[in-house]
């Protein structure tokens, strides 16, 4: 999605009234939820440069948005399978 399209969508959202927002698919969070809730932080990530075969990179990108996250997930699965 281009920045221009995101911007136009944000203008539409900004113009909505609170009562026009559908929250029906979001469960209510009561005091009980917050008594047992805990903060879970993902492990930190490190910026690096990696060299991949061109066909591998193209395939990852062809699977849709988030190819870097997909690379990370594939590597995590490999680690889990080989421990």
Domain boundaries, given as residue ranges, for the chain = 3-81
Taking the model in full, what pTM does it have? 0.49
Q: Which of 5-9, 38-42, 51-55, 66-70 is least confident?
A: 5-9
Q: How many CA atoms lie within 13 A of 48 on its CB side?
A: 8
Sign of the dihedral through C-alpha 22, 24, 30, 32: negative
pLDDT, greater one: 82 or 10: 82
Distance CA 55, CA 45 (A): 25
Q: Which residue has the tokens 């870097």?
A: 68
Q: What is the mean pLDDT of residues 45-70?
A: 94
């Amino acid at each position: 999605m281009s920045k221009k399209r995101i911007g136009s969508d944000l203008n539409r959202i900004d113009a909505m009234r609170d009562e026009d927002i559908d929250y029906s698919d979001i469960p209510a969070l009561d005091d009980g939820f917050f008594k047992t809730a805990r903060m879970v932080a993902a492990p930190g990530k490190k910026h690096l440069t990696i060299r991949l075969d061109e066909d591998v990179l193209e395939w990852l990108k062809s699977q849709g948005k988030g190819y870097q996250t997909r690379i990370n997930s594939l590597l995590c699965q490999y680690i889990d399978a080989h421990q």
